[in-house]
Structures are given as C-alpha cells and as structure tokens.
Amino acid sequence: MPDRLADLRNQFNRADQEKKRQIGEYLYSRPARWVSRQEIVGAFDIDESGVSRHIDGLHEAGYLQTKYIDDQRYVQWDGRGAGGIRYWVREATPPQLWAAGSELRPLFSLDSLGGAYVPTLLFGILILIGFFSGIVTVVVVYLPSNSALGVTATDMVFLTGIVTMMAAVFLLIIPVARLLDIALQKIVVWSLRLVKEENKEK
C-alpha cells in the first residue's frame, strides 16, 4: 500500500471519519484530475456542507490541492496517487492539449464507435507503427552500412509502405463498419417491435 494512502487511513481511522477516508481514497484513485465538489456530493450522497468539511480536513492535512473556477470548488490528490505512468504523462502534457484530448476521448469509445471500434483501433495502431518505421528508415539510411541488424533501408521502406496501405484500408472500413452497425441495430429494433406487435395481436 502506498505510504501516503496508508498515512491517510491511519490519520483518519475513527469510525466517524469513514466518509473522509472514502473521499480521500476516491481522489487518490483519480490523480492529476481536478474533481468538483458536486461530483463528490453525487458520488457519496452527502450534502455540500458535509463534503466541504471533509475536503477542508483533507486539505489542511496536506493530502489535497484545491482551486476555484467560477465559484465552484475543485480538489485533486496532492501527488502521484494511484496514477502510475498516467500521472506522469498528464504532468508532462500541456493543460490545453490534455483538455483537448479529454474532449476527444469519448468520441473514440466503444459506445460511440460501435462496430467501427476495432477498425478504428487497428487504424490507430498501424499509424503509430508506420510513424515509428518511418523514423527507423531515416536512421538506417544515415548509417554507414545502410542497414541495422540485417535490415536495410529498402526493407524498411517496403515495410512502411505495407503498413501505410493497411492503415488506408482500415480507414475505408471504418465508415462502412459504422453504417453496418447502425443498420444492424435498426433491423434488431424493427424485428423486436414486430414480434411485440404479433404477440399483442394474439
């Protein structure tokens, strides 16, 4: 158990401090993320004054950071928390870029993409592989032997070309897969409705 979380649990170990511990654990599991007071109210079903009292105590004990945006209070765990590499990536990413990514991520979820999720995922992976192989190709070209580990620049160009073509194929598949998914959903809904109507008539 990380020392900071253990310290929190030891410091607020009384039965009447259970909610305070739970709020601390909740924020610990969401490092490098500003959480609004309203979100905590909804998560723990406590009134705003109760939440304010708990986060005040955690802030005074040095476990939380706090800020106000448009008179709305936000808090976050002060430190790495349970974030691991995600915490350090977020720390190194400019806030504007992270915010833009946060807005775009829901657009690439399984719920929003449906049947196009797998082609989109494969397209993204192939783009990354193509980008990496392109960099390796440039490095190999500038080597005196024009090869590395038996792989020549020509081999790398060929590989990059194949990866690029596969990515292009998946890019074409994405809208087709999404349209098929939508059509299948409508067919299923229509079939269920038809069955219900037939059962009512009986």
Per-residue pLDDT for the chain (202 aa), expressed as one digit of tens each?
A: 457 888 889 999 898 899 999 999 988 888 778 889 999 998 888 888 999 999 999 999 999 989 988 888 999 888 776 666 666 666 666 666 666 666 656 655 556 666 677 777 788 888 888 888 888 888 877 777 777 777 787 878 888 888 888 888 888 887 788 778 778 888 888 888 887 777 776 6
- Using only C-alpha atoms, what is the Rg of the chain? 26
**Tokens coding 193:** 């409705």
The domain limits of the chain are 3-92, 108-201
3-92 topology per CATH: Arc Repressor Mutant, subunit A (1.10.10)
